[in-house]
Chains A and B, each alone.
Chain A
Amino acid sequence: MKEFEKLSEEMKNIVLTQKERAALRFSILDFIKTNPVSSQVLLRLIFQRSIIYSWQLLALFIKKPMPILLILALILGGGGVSFAAENALPGDVLYPVKVKVNEEVVAALAFSPEAKVNWEARRLERRLEEAEHLAEKGELKAEVRERIEENFERHAGRVRVRIAEFEAKDLKAAADISSNLEVSLQAHARILAILATSTGQATTTATEVGKLLFRIKTRGDDASRLRIEIEAKVASSTQPEVKNAAEGKLKAAENKIEEVKKFIAAMQERLGEEATLEAEARLKVAENTVIEGRAKLEAKAFADAFGFFQKAHRIAQEAKLLIKAREDLKIDVRIKNDEDEEGAREEERDENENRGRGRGGIELELGL
């Protein structure tokens, strides 16, 4: 067999050329970027780590002194404690673990700029979710609300900064992130608005929610403006770039719609008939928006197509967020948009001033 072995050795010289390697590498990198590791997966990584990892975690991430019992619990409990901390709310014993350990570890594990900013945006959402849970329980006091607001503003500020960084080097990513930020803030604004007005709410909670809501709406409007700005920038890129961006967004929108379809199917029983129908109707709107986008694509109006696909993505994502809120908070948030779709679209095309109202406009009379 020596001869065959010799032949085999020769065959090991069959390799990819430089060009071929580079081309494949590029394609794969592109795939990785469009399919980032979700924060869910990163979180699970933490939970599964061993006790030894906990030691290292503690050394690196605990900046403020923590009660010794908590430290012991972390070391001995390892992943169990991390996991339990995930549901903690401000004021709970394990809340510091959630924010200062779990979230910081995920932040450290996120390597690419995209992964980092996505996690930052997710942290922002987590603050809002916490506020929502507290509001639902009628426990959102001024002090807590202030802290949540502080954290929220910090994360929102960071996301803003990163979007600006992306604008310079990766316009497509900037568009994605700003669009996701916009829908996230708008959805949570709607949820909080419902919480503020639900019957049986103590006035203190309603007031505090109102204050938080103001912040969120401000940031939300800002995010809208930013998103429109970035879309304009995309529109003024070279033809092939805009075409590429539009095609990429089409895929993203279709994937998102698929994802939410599956989500609705999974949640059907818990949602009940009415909400399921609403959600499906909302998805239909998203699908129709995609169809409109496709028409624009055909007509080579790539910038317009891009806008439509982004919008479709947002509609689908909003539906998902609202469904989640119904399920988590047991509140009756409607999954349809109260505003006239046509009116909303024309408002958006208007590049600047007439952006007064946010979408899903539920007006509150809280004397702000």
Chain B
Amino acid sequence: MSEAEFISAYDRFADAIFRHCYFRISDRERAKDLVQETFCRTWAYLVKGGEIENLRAFLYRVANNLIIDTYRKKSALSLDELAESGFEPSVDAGERMLKAAEVRRAFSLLSNLDQKSRALVIMRYFDDLGPKEIAKITGETENAVSVRLNRAVGKLRNFF
């Protein structure tokens, strides 16, 4: 992989990775940091001679691990607490008018799920990743992913 190819991968996937991180840790600034960290670590892996079959999945995998580390490091901000305290998601100024309400709704819905299920729902519905890819990213079996995803969806159904 050349430098030119890699940076064009950034152009393609930056938004998606950002969005994924944002909805999982509900912090725009930290999400941006994670995007940078994800791409830099991926490049470092390539420089060391690592081979990557599916770059998109690899990026999500790195991001996923970084997010899990983030949870471990700080006493995880409970989205429940946030939702109750009238949490105002840090939507960008341009997005504020149109999206704040929907984003709050999305966060609120997601807060009803546990961390793992939330991750799966975001990957399936926000990132359009297939069950196989999700399995590779999370390191679980396709079956386990399907089962957990179905349960999560079932739970969400109650809120509509």
Seen from chain A, the residues whose Cβ lies within 8 Å of a Cβ on chain B are: 1, 3-5, 7-8, 10-17, 20-21, 24-25, 27-29, 31-33, 35-38, 40-41, 44, 109-112, 115
Are A111 and B3 neighbours in the complex by a CB distance under 8 Å?
Answer: yes
Task: Determine whether the beta carbon of B99 is less than 8 Å from that of A10.
Answer: yes
> Given known contacts A7-B102, A28-B7, A29-B7, is B15 in contact with A15 (CB within 8 Å)?
yes
Contacts of A35 in B (CB 8 A): 43-44, 47
Query: Which residues of the partner chain B approach A16 to less than 8 Å between Cβ atoms?
Result: 14-15, 18, 32, 35
Tell me the minimal C-beta distance from B150 to chain A in angstroms: 11
Pick from A12, A14, A37, A41: contact of B3, CB under 8 Å: A37
- CB within 8 Å for A112 and B102 given contacts A4-B125, A11-B126, A37-B46: no
Bound CA–CA A252/B35 (angstroms): 24
Distance A29 CA – B43 CA, assembled complex (angstroms): 10
Contacts of B32 in A (CB 8 A): 16, 20, 24
Instruction: Pick out which of these stretches binds chain A: B63-71, B87-95, B133-141.
Output: B87-95
- Decide yes or no: A14 and B95 within 8 Å by CB, A1-B153, A44-B49 being known contacts: yes
Q: Scoring B residues 37 to 51 as 1 if CB is less than 8 Å from chain A, else 0, what string do you get?
A: 001100110111100
Residues of B within 8 A of A (CB): 1-4, 6-7, 10-11, 14-15, 18-19, 22-23, 32, 35-36, 39-40, 43-44, 46-49, 91-92, 94-95, 99, 102-103, 105-106, 109, 125-126, 153, 156-157, 160
Contact A10 B102 (CB under 8 A): yes
B22, A14: Cβ atoms closer than 8 Å? yes
A28 touches B43 (CB 8 A): yes
Partner of A13, one of B7, B14, B95, B153: B95
Is the Cβ of A32 less than 8 Å from the Cβ of B43? yes
Question: Are A11 and B2 CB-contacts (below 8 A) given A32-B43, A36-B47?
Answer: no
CA of A156 to CA of B109, assembled, Å: 64
Q: Known: A1-B157, A11-B19. Is A32-B102 also a contact (CB below 8 A)?
A: no
- Min CB distance A50 to B, Å, is 14
Alpha-carbon gap, A24 to B34, bound state (A): 10
The distance from the CB of B45 to the nearest CB of chain A, in whole angstroms, is 11
Q: How far is the CA of A14 from the CA of B2 in the complex (A)?
A: 29
For the complex, give the distance between the alpha carbons of A40 and B23 in Å: 39
Note all chain B residues with C-beta closer than 8 A to A1: 153, 156-157
Cβ-neighbour of A7 out of B7, B48, B105 (below 8 A): B105
Please provide the 5 A-B residue pairs with the shortest distance between their CB atoms, ordered closest to farther. Answer: A8-B125, A111-B2, A15-B15, A41-B49, A31-B40
Residue of B nearest to A23 (CB): B32
Chain B residues near A32: list those with CB within 8 A: 3, 6-7, 43
For A8, the chain B residues whose CB sits under 8 A away are: 106, 125-126
Residues in B neighbouring A7, C-beta threshold 8 A:
102, 105-106, 109
| Cα separation A220 to B15 with both chains bound (whole Å) | 48
Chain B residue contacts of A41, Cβ below 8 A: 46-49
Q: A33 CA to B18 CA in the complex, in Å?
A: 23
- Please tell me if the beta carbons of A17 and B92 are within 8 angstroms of each other in the complex: yes
Could you tell me if B47 and A21 are in contact, using CB atoms closer than 8 angstroms? no
Most buried by B among A12, A15, A32, A38: A32
CA distance A12 to B3 in the complex (A): 28
Besides A7-B102, A16-B18, A112-B3, 6 more A-B contacts (Cβ < 8 Å) are A3-B160, A4-B153, A4-B160, A11-B106, A14-B95, A32-B6
Complex Cα spacing A20 to B15, Å: 10
Query: What are 21 inter-chain pairs, A to B, with CB distance below 8 A?
Result: A1-B157, A4-B160, A5-B125, A7-B105, A7-B106, A8-B106, A10-B99, A10-B106, A11-B19, A14-B91, A15-B18, A16-B35, A28-B39, A32-B6, A35-B43, A37-B2, A37-B3, A41-B47, A41-B48, A109-B2, A111-B4
